[in-house]
Structures are given as C-alpha cells and as structure tokens.
Amino acid sequence: MIRSTTLVSFAAFFLSTTLSAQIAFGGQPYGDKAEKRGMPPAVAVHLPSVDVATLLQEDAARAAQGLKGPFRFGFTHPTDLTLANSGSWFTMPNGDRVWRLQLHCPEAFSINLQFSNYVIPEGARMFLYNEAGMVRGSFTAQSNPGHTAFGTAPLEGDHITVEYIEPPAVAGQGQLTISSVIHGYRLLGKSGDRSFGDSGPCNVNTICPEGDDWRPEIRSVAHLILGGGVCTGTLINNCANDSTPYFLTANHCTEGNTSNASWVFVFNWESPACDPTENAPMDHSITGCEKLLEYPPTDASLLLLNSTPPADFQPYYSGWDKTGTAPDSVTCIHHPAGDIKKISSSHGPIIEGMMGSADCWQVTAWHSGTTEPGSSGSALWNQDHRIIGQLFGGQASCSNNINDYYGRFNLTYPQIEQWLGACGDTLDGFDPDLFVPLPLDAAITSIAQVPAVVCNSDSVMPRVTLKNNGEGTITYVNINWFVDGALMGTIPWFGALQPVQTVNIDLPAIHMASGLRQIHVSASNPNAATDTNPLNDEDSLQVMVNSPGINAVVKMNLDRFGTETTWMIQTQQGYVVANGGPYNNSANGYTVNVPVCLAHECYTFTVMDAVGDGMCCTYGLGNYLLVDVLGDTLLQGSGSFTWSDSQELCTNWTGIPEKPGAGGLHVVPNPNNGRFTLYLPDAAATGQVSLHDALGRMLWTGSATGTPMDLSVEGLAEGCYLLILESDGQRNMQRIVVQH
C-alpha cells in the first residue's frame, strides 16, 4: 500500500510451532537427529550482515514519499547455491542420498528462499528446518507440478537447513538452485502486546462477528509473499465458474518483480479467536504464478496461480461488478503490515477519486478497522458482495482513519475481459464446494513449455493440460491449435480421463513468423458429442518470436541505490520484450548482466529511477550498455539523468546497429534448397557480400559487382540465414531460407 506513514515492524510469520507451507506432504528430515544417525554437521554458507538501520530508514523515506512497492520485511541476497557447488552429501544405510546445506543470515529474525531451479524426481523430497526444531515440508514433485521454480514462506531464526533426500532409484536426477536468500530484518513483537504482525490495534480479526456475513469472501483472500515484501490479493471468479485460479492484486506490488515463479500465496491464515488475537499455522500455501496483466491506470495486476487451491483449502472465487456504480457501503479483507487476516468496513460515502494518475474509488472513512502497508492489492467489495476495486494507497491508519484509494474494477475490466469472460455487468462468486458438475465438460486449463520470447527459432512445442470437469469419463476429444486466429492443426486424444483428473498432451511443433504471436488451443467434440460447458474449452497465450534474432546482454552498472533502478526494452508497438529491476542496494554498487534476444527491428530502451536522481553521479558512477555476443556496444548511457533516459535502437541480424542503406538487394528463388541468384541494386555497384547464420557467424564472403551472382549453399542445414551487402559505406540486408 502506498501511504505517507512510517513503516512498522513485521513479525507475522513465526510463532507457530506447527509449520508447513506450499503444498507439503509431511514426514521428517534425517537431519533432525543427525548426530544420532552418525551424520556430519551440515556445511554452512554465511551470508553477509545487513545494515538494518539503513534499511528501515529507506523504508520510512520511501513511505513518506509515497513510493511504490510491497511492504518490505526482508533483504534479498542473490545466490547461486546448487547440489553440486554447495552443501554436502551423506548416504544412509538404506541407500538414500541426503544433501544438506545450512544458511546463516547474521541476526536475522527469519529466512525464506527462492529457487530458480526446482526439479525433484518422484520419491525424492525436500525439507527446511531451523535450530528450534520447526520443520517445513516435505516438498516433492507435486508441490509445484509442471514448474521448475519454487519459493518458501519465512522460517524463524538466523540459521536454517535445507535437506534434500534422494532414493537410490532416482539418484542423480534432482536439481536445486537457491537463487535468493531473504534476510528477515523486521523485529518480532516490537509492539509488545502484538506478538506477531504489527498491524494497528483497531484492526478486526476475520473470525469476529464483523466477518460473519463475509465467510465465503474471506476464503478467497491470500497473503502474498514476493521475496522480501508482502501484499494482499484475492481469488476472482470468471464467467466459466471453473475454479481457474485468477488472482487480483495491485500493480505496484508486482511491477518490476520478475521472480513471480517463486512468489508464495498463503490462504486461510486467520486468528481462531476474536480477541485476543491468536496465531495460526500457514499450512495452506501455493508457489508461483503467471503475470497476465499489469495495468497502471487503475493499479491493477491480474495473476494466474501455478496451481489451483485444493479442496482442503476450501477456496472461494469472489464475484465482481463492472457497472461503475458507486456503492452504499464497502468491505475490505486484508493482511495489514503482514499480519494475520483482518476485515474493515465503511458505510460511505464512497466517491470517485484520483491517486496520482490512477482512477480510484475513494473510501472517505473507515467505520470499523483500517488498512496499512501490506494491505495493498486487497479487494474492495460492495454491499452485494462483489469486487469493485483493489487497494492502491492512502492515508488511513488507526490514528487517521480516512481516505483510502482503490483502483476501479469497472475501468480495469476491459483489459482483463479476455480472461474473465463476457457474461454481463455483474458476476456472483463461485464456491467449488457447492459446484454440481455438468454431464460432459472437457476443459483446457493451461498451455506450458512456451517461453515468453523465442530466439533464433520459429517454432515451439507446447504441452497443454486437459481436465475433465464433467461427471462422466472422457475417452476421446479433439485438440485444436491456432496462431493469430488461423487453425494450424488438430490431433485426437484417446484415453480414459476420470472426473476432476487432468492429463498433459504434447503438441507437435508450431511454426510461426517473427513478431508477437497469439497461440490459442481448444478442446472440441468430447466423446464425439457436444461439450455442455463451452466457456472453459480454450486457453491462449502470447509469445514474441525473434527469428532471426540476435543475442545481446544488458549491462547495468548500478550506483549505491539499486532499488531505485528499473529498465525495459519495447518494440515500436509498445510491447515489452525484456525488463529488469529493481535491484539491491550496495555500498559500492555492482554490475548486473541480463541476456536478451532482439529481432531485426527497432526498439526503445528506457532506464528509470524511482526517486529522480538517475544512476550517476552523487551516489556512484552508474551507467548502462547493451552489447552483442561479441562484446560490441549497441547503445550506452552515462546514467546521468533524472527520472528516465530513453534511446532508440535498430538492430540487424548480426547485432550491429543498422545504417540507412541502398535498397534493392534481390535474391531468387527464395526459399529453395541452397542455390540462389543475387541481383544487386545498381549495375555499377561494387562491394562485399557476406552470409551469416542465426548466431551472427559469418559463413561466406565474396566480392560483389553489378552482375548477378550465383550462391550455392546446398550443404547448409535447413533454416534462416542473412545476406549482407556492404557498398559505399552503407548496408543492405536480405533474409534467405534454405529448405531441402
């Protein structure tokens, strides 16, 4: 939440001794009795100390300036800790191989982790535990199915141990990379009588009578842990009423944060007593999501969780209202200051307002409860129990209970209609516990194995998930796929898919032209009959195809305040093909190298600073470059700017900035099996002609004259290549395709 108050301590996670998170499967690690089992001590990695006073000052300064971002509780240490380069292995008498690594963050109150690589074979398992005997796990292949990143909720203490157990049958198949270790620096129990969380005393626990009319909606709200920060969000229903886990939160919580594959969503973290507040286990959690939309005009962010909350979570998908009608009264359910779940209400007036440039509903006063940092992204429901917005920011607190601003859902809806569907101006919530399945309902629930950017290739091989939402067995269904609305192929699927079961189906290679493409997959004709619920028959995604493409590296030489720096590369149409930041602060600054892939077209490269003092020169000599794989500079900036610095870039296939060239280089026939004829643009032209592959490597060069040239390259593999004519200091290019 954005507000002008000092951020307070975070102690929300740690007092329960029954700890588990994500979709966990119980059990005990070997290391809890390591000495008795003859196991050596775990190898330790000692992370650097953090300057807590400076971090708290930064938090307070950012809050006072109204700067965007989640409520920060931890400092992120980037790491690269793997099964191969860290920890130690020990073989148990039963043949199990056990890998253990201890992590030490000096004087931390908690530690949580992000894994950029999480591949656990069937039968293997992972645990986290601290010196007090608190255990999280076991985490298995089913804890984040279909995905290779993972995150954990904070675990109390400044020492934790990661333990991975691999049975003999799958020895050597596991992969773990700890990419971030988050040092929790906020104090536990700072306010004395509030022993976990630090929300104000006027906040109301959801178990209290004020929550009685809102029991279903309370089940839709989750605590969102984004590495070292926290926000709130809500499961939101779609027109298909099919439990697709769409999740509404605030754009200022998610923008610029690219670790969404390891974010943690904690459901049902609620006090079992009204007063006094009692802690509860955080055992209903899910890891990871896909960003579907970030929309600054209403500060909205729509996510798709990597996993559907299982039945024992008792999830509820809240309804919505897109009429734009001002409500008579409103309710907010949220996690203020990272605390256990609370409920607030206002009897109005609720009016249209602006916060910065965002269109909002203004809650002029809270009559029960309030909001605080950490409440950001929480939904605002009207008197009809339908979402009309999500929290952007404001001035409300227990001592100043006025003026909160919520991005207006009616203005967000046109941007998210493609996911939620078109079914009128209002939609009621959906309770899966009350759902009656239809007779025949085949649903496409996801499209996987398609990267956001395809570089130096024109094809992908998607994996789609088919789910049986009906009450009978599905034995046959057609799977159809489209590119930009054009049908590209159909395959039949045969099997015996029982109700609520899913199956992954691998599609053949889908070939696409370079540019931003839409892949659409649908299921049709289940059991050679009509699907009784066509609203969930299809799914789609966008992919940027850079074919041919160049590999380049963004080099950000940061000043001391990396948390202020973000950047993005946009096409001329405004599509963001790459972005990064914010980064960590460092007394001496440091360099970040980010690989990117760029097609042969023009882009805008923009670097932004959150406080308007650039990257140079008061707090260090920051600057930035974009270089190709050979180290040649494509563009560079001094870092001396205020709020942002933008540069235009046009690339050719070899990664060299394109110069205006004489047009007319003509190659025929194209494509063919490798015998081309080159016609130069001018009969008097002379120069040098070169042929390059998709990596920019020169394969052939020759002298050009005004007469036609024969080029014979039958020995080349099928694919795309680039001819470059350099004549009179100018350059002309032509793509050719070899097909055998």
Please tell me whether residue 707 adopts helix, strand or coil conformation. coil
Residue 299 designated active-site: yes
The residue assigned the tokens 């007092």 is: 15
Beta partners for residue 362, in sequence order: 351, 405
Of 351, 338, 355, give the one whose Cα is nearest residue 388. Answer: 351
Contacts of 731 (CB under 8 A, 6+ apart): 652, 658, 659, 661, 724, 725
CB atoms closer than 10 angstroms to residue 433: 10
Structure tokens at 733: 């290019």
Burial of 1 (0-12, 13-18, 19+ CB in 10 A): buried
How far apart (Å, rounded) are the C-alpha atoms in residues 397 and 394? 9
Q: Which residue spans within 498-575 are E strands per DSSP?
A: 502-506, 510-511, 515-524, 538-546, 549-557, 565-571
Q: Catalytic: which of 158, 299, 531, 645?
A: 299
Instruction: Show the tokens assigned to 321.
Output: 């209202």
Which residue in 77, 159, 223, 252 is the catalytic one? 252
Quick check: 643 and 612 in contact, CB under 8 A? Answer: yes
Q: Which residues are bridge partners to 405 per DSSP?
A: 362, 393
CA 443 to chain centre: 24
Length of the chain: 740
Distance CA 433, CA 369 (A): 30
Give the C-alpha separation, 365 to 348, whole Å.
7
Q: Which among 376, 457, 522, 727 is annotated as catalytic? A: 376
Ramachandran angles phi, psi of 27, nearest 5° = 95, 180
Residue located via tokens 């842990």: 225
Nearest partner of 330 among 365, 370, 381, 368, judged by Cα: 381
Annotated catalytic, 376? yes
CB 163 within 8 A of CB 124: no
**Which of 227, 115, 92 has its CA nearest to residue 175?**
115
Beta pairing, strands 402-408 & 386-394: antiparallel
Which residues are CB-contacts of 414 (< 8 A; sequence separation ≥ 6)? Answer: none
Instruction: Pick left, alpha or beta for residue 421 (phi over 0 → left; psi -120 to 50 → alpha; otherwise beta).
Output: left
Q: Maximum distance among all alpha carbons in the chain? A: 91
Q: Which residues are catalytic?
A: 252, 299, 376
